[in-house]
C-alpha cells in the first residue's frame, strides 16, 4: 500500500513539473516593461531566438531581448521599469536588448536597438540615464534627461530630434560624439557622416509618428555645416517661425492610446 502511494505521489509530482514547464513562456527573459497603448494596432513581439511571435496588447509584459514589430499601419507604446516610454510608429522594428532599474536607488541602465521606423523616446525616473544606450544601424545615442523623436530609414540613415534635454550622438559606433540640445537635430547618413540642424515641427501623436518621405537622399556631410543638400522632405511640415516655436511635439508627455 505504501509503495503504491509513493508511486502515486511521484507520478503527481512529475505531472505538476511537466505542467509547470508547459506554462513557462519560451521567452523566459527578465520582464522589463509593459504595453501602455490601450488600443491594439497589430504590434507583435518575437522572443530572443524564436521565430514565433505573440501579439502584445494593453498591459502585456515585454521582456529583455524581445524584438517588437509593427505592421504597415500598426503602432504601440511601451513603458519600462522606471516609466521611460517609447512610442513605436508604423512599419517599425525595435529590439529590447536590456533594461534594469532599482527603484530604491533610482539607478539603472539599458540598451534599445532601433532597426527601422519612427519612435518617440521619453526618459523616466532613472537618475543614471547616461547609462542608457540607444542604437541604430549608424548611430549610438547617450541620453541626458531627454525626449527624442528618432527616425531610422531602411538604408540606415538616422535622424535624432531633441524635444527636451540633450543627447550625445556618435556615428557608426566610432569617433567623438556630437551633443545636441533642445530644438536641435542630428542626422547620421549611411556613409557615417553627420549633419547638425534645427529640428523641424514634429508630430504630436503616436498615430502620426511615421517616417517622413524624402525626395532625395543626402550622401555627404556638406562640409559639416549642417546643410541638408538640395533634397527636401516632401511631407515634412515647414518649421514654425512664430514665437511659440515647437510646441506641437508632445510637450505634455507621450500619448498612451
Domains annotated on the chain, with CATH: 29-224 (2.60.120.1440)
Rounded Cα–Cα distance for residues 158 and 146 (Å): 17
Q: Which of 165-179, 221-235, 237-251 holds the top average pLDDT?
A: 165-179
Residue 12 scores a pLDDT above 80 = no
Query: Quick one: DSSP state of residue 56?
Result: -
pLDDT score, position 152? 97
pLDDT score, position 90? 94
pLDDT score, position 50? 82
Query: Predicted confidence band at 144 (pLDDT cuts at 50, 70, 90)?
Result: confident
Higher pLDDT, 209 or 116: 116
Rounded Cα–Cα distance for residues 122 and 110 (Å): 14
Q: What average pLDDT does the segment 46-69 reach?
A: 94
Q: What average pLDDT does the segment 29-58 reach?
A: 94
Q: Which of 95-99, 204-208, 218-222, 242-246 holds the top average pLDDT?
A: 95-99
Q: Shortest CA distance to 131 belongs to which of 184, 67, 195, 82? A: 82
Rounded Cα–Cα distance for residues 185 and 255 (Å): 22
> How far is C-alpha 33 from the geometric centre of its chain's CA atoms?
12
Exposed, middle or buried, 250 (CB in 10 Å: 0-12/13-18/19+)?
buried
Residue 204 scores a pLDDT above 50 = yes
* pLDDT digits 0-9 by tens, 124-138: 999 999 999 999 999
Amino acid at each position: 500500500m505504501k509503495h503504491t502511494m509513493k508511486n502515486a505521489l511521484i507520478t503527481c509530482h512529475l505531472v505538476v513539473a511537466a505542467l509547470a514547464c508547459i506554462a513557462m513562456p519560451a521567452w523566459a527573459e527578465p520582464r522589463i516593461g509593459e504595453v501602455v497603448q490601450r488600443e491594439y494596432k497589430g504590434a507583435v513581439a518575437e522572443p530572443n531566438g524564436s521565430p514565433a511571435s505573440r501579439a502584445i496588447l494593453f498591459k502585456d509584459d515585454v521582456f529583455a531581448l524581445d524584438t517588437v514589430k509593427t505592421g504597415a499601419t500598426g503602432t504601440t507604446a511601451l513603458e519600462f521599469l522606471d516609466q521611460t516610454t517609447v512610442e513605436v510608429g508604423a512599419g517599425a522594428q525595435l529590439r529590447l536588448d536590456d533594461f534594469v532599474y532599482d527603484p530604491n536607488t533610482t539607478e539603472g541602465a539599458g540598451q534599445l536597438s532601433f532597426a527601422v521606423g519612427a519612435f518617440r523616446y521619453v526618459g523616466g525616473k532613472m537618475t543614471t540615464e547616461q547609462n542608457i544606450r540607444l542604437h541604430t544601424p549608424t548611430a549610438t545615442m547617450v541620453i541626458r534627461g531627454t525626449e527624442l523623436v528618432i527616425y531610422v530609414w531602411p538604408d540606415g540613415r538616422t535622424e535624432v530630434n531633441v524635444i527636451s534635454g540633450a543627447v550625445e550622438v556618435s556615428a557608426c559606433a566610432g569617433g567623438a560624439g556630437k551633443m545636441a540640445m533642445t530644438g536641435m537635430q542630428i542626422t547620421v547618413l549611411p556613409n557615417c557622416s553627420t549633419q547638425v540642424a534645427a529640428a523641424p515641427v514634429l508630430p504630436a501623436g503616436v498615430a502620426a509618428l511615421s517616417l517622413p518621405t524624402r525626395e532625395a537622399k543626402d550622401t555627404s556631410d556638406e562640409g559639416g555645416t549642417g546643410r541638408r543638400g538640395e533634397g527636401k522632405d516632401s511631407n515634412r511640415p515647414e518649421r514654425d517661425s512664430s514665437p511659440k516655436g515647437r510646441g506641437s511635439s508632445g510637450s505634455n508627455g507621450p500619448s498612451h492610446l
